[in-house]
Amino acid sequence: MSTTLPASSPADVSPLADTPLVGIVMGSQSDLKIMSAAAEFLRQFNVPYEITLVSPHRTPHRLIEYGETARKRGLRVIIAGGGGAAHLPGMLAAFTTLPVIGVPINSVTSLHGLDSILSMLQMPAGVPVATVALDGAANAAVLATEILAISNARLADVLEKYRTSLKDKVMRTIEELRK
């Protein structure tokens, strides 16, 4: 199940850069239905991103190239999703010192995503992957935006407004329930 977040506050930020700052990658085209939520969130916030497939098992050399060139190409954060034996985030983290956010995906296996979660969580010391919830692509995009907002006040302001919109939604529901 994908993480559904309320619509963001108006994204009145102009693009932060001409080239992608966030790389969204996934192990298979079957992951796209989950990972598209990350792209949608970044689009709302005018955060430049790229989205592509990098299979650790079917295109291993592409994985190495992606990890080794990511920083040189201007990326600041990588969001990597995978299901089953979800090696993509961990192996990308081995080839870059950019922050890698892992999205475990509940692809159709008898383990229902537990396999992906454990693949991403059990990283060795020194090579971390920031793992979000199962199918948590939207939250991965929020976290990536928060990382970028460390050095961008305008983006930090947009995130504040977004948080306010989440609070307002809760408050509206509380009001409805009082009626």
| Residues in Cβ contact with 141 at an 8 Å cutoff, skipping those fewer than 6 apart | 22, 37, 38, 39, 40, 41, 42, 47, 79
Helices and strands of the chain, counted as H and E runs: 6, 5
Tell me if 39 sits within 8 A of 10, measured CB to CB.
no
Name which of 108 and 125 has its Cβ closer to ligand RP5: 108
Among 9, 44, 107, 131, binds ligand RP5 (CB under 6 A): 107
Among 23, 67, 84, 102, binds ligand RP5 (CB under 6 A): 84
Q: Which of residues 133-172 bind ligand RP5 (CB under 6 A)?
A: none
Q: Is 104 in the site for ligand RP5 (CB under 6 A)?
A: no
Q: Is 28 annotated as a binding-site member?
A: yes
Among 67, 82, 90, 136, binds ligand RP5 (CB under 6 A): 82
C-alpha closest to that of 145 among 56, 44, 12: 44
Q: To the nearest whole angstrom, how small is the minimum distance from the Cβ of residue 128 to ligand RP5? A: 20
Tell me if 32 sits within 8 A of 107, measured CB to CB.
no
Which residues contribute to the site for ligand RP5 (CB under 6 A)?
26-28, 30-31, 55, 82-84, 105, 107
